[in-house]
Amino acid sequence: MFSPIIWRAGQLQLLDQRQLPKQETWLAIDTVQQCSQAISDMVVRGAPAIGITAAYGVVLAARQCYAQHAEHWREAMPALLRQLAQARPTAVNLCWAINTMQTHFAAVIGHPEPALLAQAQRIHQDDIHANQTMGALGAQLLPQQAKVLTHCNAGALATGGYGTALGVIRSGFAQGKISQIYADETRPWWQGARLTAWELLRDGLPVTLLADSAAAMLMQQGKLDWVIVGADRIAANGDVANKIGTYGLAVLARYHGVKFMVVAPRSTFDLSLASGAAMPLEQRDGRELLCFQNQTVAAQGADSFNPVFDLTPAALIDAMVSERGVILQPDAAKIAAIIS
């Protein structure tokens, strides 16, 4: 099982996704500060992968605190964990993983690293298992000879392994139900062009890349059955924060009669938020939009609007898939019945 996150010989190693597809570079992460920076700088990205990385980051934080404070390591942890939690504000899996790890602090006896490492590895393996379950559940919704489109990257690179949206596509393809896979390039970080295409081709799945703005024409020509995406945060009513461009795809899909599926694990649901109105939607440096490979491509003096995520209302979603089951036409009551 391919994973972009590895714990090996007492060290966290992350596949630097900024370098793909040109080269596969693994970064060694030895401190919680390095872990926070890797999340912020998008060395690792995708809500589930961010959560798993954060879980290992808690292990590194505990190691550092124990080395400095011995049996008083718990008292020194909050400052480091706050730094870790602030690395990416939208992906709820980040805080979920930190909170889950914290629930095990009280039971730790002696050096905290072994017990916390076991819990982080459990979170990692549970994510892979959840992805495989979601892949099987989501594939059941697909017709024979399905033509599907995905946005950004919600595959093994964005998770512990296998993927959420790409997990459904992997399962559907393995069952012979998918005849065509399309991927948006996903500006401005090109996750579709650099990551989804690389990942699918690496595993022997054919993929056709298109500009984000070409999706409408694809639907107009009747060449799509399903749009399948992941999520970074899902509110109690089913509103979804995901990579910028997701909302536009949902509107297009509804107009053209194309089905829209969101695939995400339980850890991506934030039931403390009644709707998406209160979700933090991250804005990033405008240079990501104005430049390409460190070269300015926009007219000098142009301003920028560079939101990382947008909000898709639950009313535009036909199916929501988690490891706990499938929710058709999601709303607060249906989500509460399955997720809470």
- Within the chain, what is the greatest distance between any pair of CA atoms? 65
Helices (H), the chain: 32-40, 47-69, 73-85, 92-102, 113-139, 165-174, 197-202, 215-220, 246-256, 287-290, 332-339
Residue 29 DSSP code: E
Torsion of CA 314, 319, 323, 324, to 10 degrees: 80
The secondary structure of 277-314 as a DSSP string is GG----B--THHHHEETTEE-SPTT-----BSEEEE-G
Q: Is 176 exposed, middle or buried (0-12, 13-18, 19+ CB in 10 A)?
A: exposed
Report the catalytic residues: 232
Contact 132, 170 (CB under 8 A): no
Contact 240, 262 (CB under 8 A): yes
Tokens standing for 172? 């559907």
Residue 65's identity, in one-letter code, is C
Residue 44 DSSP code: S
Residue 241's identity, in one-letter code, is A
**Number of Cβ atoms within 10 Å of the Cβ of 309:** 25
